[in-house]
Copies of this chain bind each other. A is one copy, B any other.
Amino acid sequence: MRALLDFLLFDWLKAETLCARPRHAGQSREDYAQMLDACERVAREVWQSANRACDTDEPKVDADGKVQLPASTARAVRAYFDTGLHTAGLDAEHGGLQLPCMVEMAGNAFFSKASPGCMGYPMLSVANTGLLLAHGTPAQIEAFARPQIEGRWLGTMCLSEPAIGSSLGDLTTRAEADGGDALGARYRLKGSKMWISAGEHELAENIVHLVLAKVPREDGSLPEGSAGISLFIVPKFRPDGTRNGVSLVGLNHKLGWRGTSNCLLNFGESDAALGWRVGAEGQGLAQMFHMMNEARIGVGLGAAMLAMAGYEVSRAYAAERVQGRAPGRRGGPQQPLNAHADVRRMLLQQKAVAEGALALNLFCARLVDEQRSSGPDAEQAAQLLALLIPVAKSWPSQWGLEANSQAIQVLGGAGYTRDWPVEQFWRDQRLNMIHEGTHGIQGLDLLLRKASQPALVQAFAQRVNATVQAALAEPDLAEWANQLAGALALVGKALKSAWASGDPAQAALHATPVLQGFGHLVLAWIWLDLHVAARGHALEPGLRAACAYFFAYELPLVQAWLQPVLAQQRLLAEVDEAAL
């Protein structure tokens, strides 16, 4: 995988060009390689062996009410902080390394591949820290972000509640004013938060919860909708060292991703849950979503890496395991599994998904860098990123799951046993379509919020056309270039058809099919662009095979998925509830 990462970062995305910009002045390819070396080594030596234990020995509440994890998880989290990767994206003024987002993401790729279950702890802490640095006061940063930067504390994000899942505007956690101090306006929080990853454990001295809640009006009622949401810092231990009123109600027992404790937390149940407001009242959701792009790239990248993990295991198995003969042939020696056509199809599918999804998410990270380092194309990058994010998150989640299922299939009965890791990859992967915005919500984000802006679609079409032009110049790529151009035109038609009524409720009927069709278009573009860039590179034959697979077996699906959109199919609106 390292050779591929190097190709993607340095040959395709030209990471070194960033060193010419003030934000990355003085950095070099060697610096980036050094960070990747450290991550690759720690992931291999410490994380990989921790992955099974964090699944089989899932978080438990002991007699003292403490959440216990395997010792190997604690070692893994410690080793992660030792690489310094958690500060890679932070500004130097806060002690960060100020590395490009794509280097940070590439470093994380090794850890996500080795153990998503262990990854939950540092990942949430990094997001928490980033949010505090962006919106907190200097005192809040010093008190709550600094210990996380130093790797002593960890953090969480507390959004959902038992009665609300994706509908955050309906949350009911209350924050009652309680004066103020050097840390800002103080509140007492009351409510329950559900699905809190890394919400309780003994891995760190303290846990900094970032909690969405509403400040009641004078009559005690809560403001309606998301405009009434504010953001609060609610630590497990208060600055004076006393226990804050955050209590663990219970752990969720999951299908996979078991290494990360997942909690139902009560705030202010028996003791006061003191919290300090971050920024202005009513800004909570906007602040929380400030880092949403990176969070979604993180999920997409993690999904790509699980697909990669399954691909590597099944590829090795198919090369070694001897089984059966070519159709029509009797007698003679058996052949390896990877000589069978259908096994090859399953390997190419995994390769196309894993490597394509990795490339897409690194491309998105490159767009983050473009904005953050104020590159010449920062505005276009922001537009392109906004449009691609729902795909970067959802496509690897959906097709990575399919890839992990194929990995099981390549191993046959063995893949269905817990003697091999592929079944865990598949279970872990299943979460990715649910957390950080469900698949359905990504579809609505794409169609209703992003693809409804002509400038965003235009920015994307320009990029695709540039790839088409480059590929048309090469005789062996011309057919794919034409297919890609055709798919782009088709998706454009489908967007018009979906929005024909101008009514978002009507358009929403087509959100998921559009997400599917647009997603495969994006990946076809990524694959052709990779192929153009790989000319003469040692990886070219493999990349060409995956590209060929994608255009032959996957791209035709776009037409099928968009058919009901083009036909303005209204079944989903008209079907009677009783008929479901």
Contacts and interface: CB of A to CB of B under 8 A. Distances in A.
A434 interface: yes
Which A-B residue pairs are the 8 nearest by beta carbons?
A328-B504, A342-B440, A556-B560, A255-B423, A167-B324, A327-B508, A545-B579, A560-B560
A371 interface: no
Given A327-B444, A423-B255, A556-B563, A345 B572 contact: yes
B327 A505 contact: yes
Interface string A479-518: 0000000000000000000000001110111011100000
Given A338-B580, A412-B166, A417-B253, A328 B557 contact: no
Interface string A98-109: 000000000000
Interface of A: 160, 164-167, 169-170, 194-195, 224-225, 252-256, 315, 318-319, 323-331, 334, 338-345, 347-348, 351, 401, 405, 408-409, 412-413, 415-419, 423, 426-427, 430-431, 433-435, 438-440, 443-444, 448, 503-505, 507-509, 511-513, 541-542, 544-545, 548-549, 552-553, 556-557, 559-561, 563-564, 567, 569, 571-573, 575-580
Given A338-B577, A342-B512, 6 more contacts: A167-B324, A169-B330, A252-B419, A542-B579, A545-B576, A559-B560
Contacts of A195: 413
Contacts of A334: 167, 170
Contacts of A548: 571, 575
A416 B443 contact: no
Contacts of A575: 344, 348, 545, 548
Contact of A576 (B328, B343, B541, B552): B541
A348 B580 contact: yes
A547 B441 CA distance: 26
10 contacts: A167-B325, A255-B408, A326-B508, A341-B509, A342-B508, A342-B512, A413-B435, A426-B430, A427-B427, A559-B559
A256 B426 CA distance: 12
A5 B327 CA distance: 40
Contacts of A542: 578-580
A462 B357 CA distance: 45
A505 B253 contact: no
A369 to B, nearest CB: 31
Nearest to A321: B165
B412 A431 contact: no
Nearest to A350: B580
A418 B254 contact: yes
A413 B165 contact: yes
Nearest to A331: B224
Name the residue among A160, A444, A553, A564 with the largest chain B CB count within 10 angstroms: A553
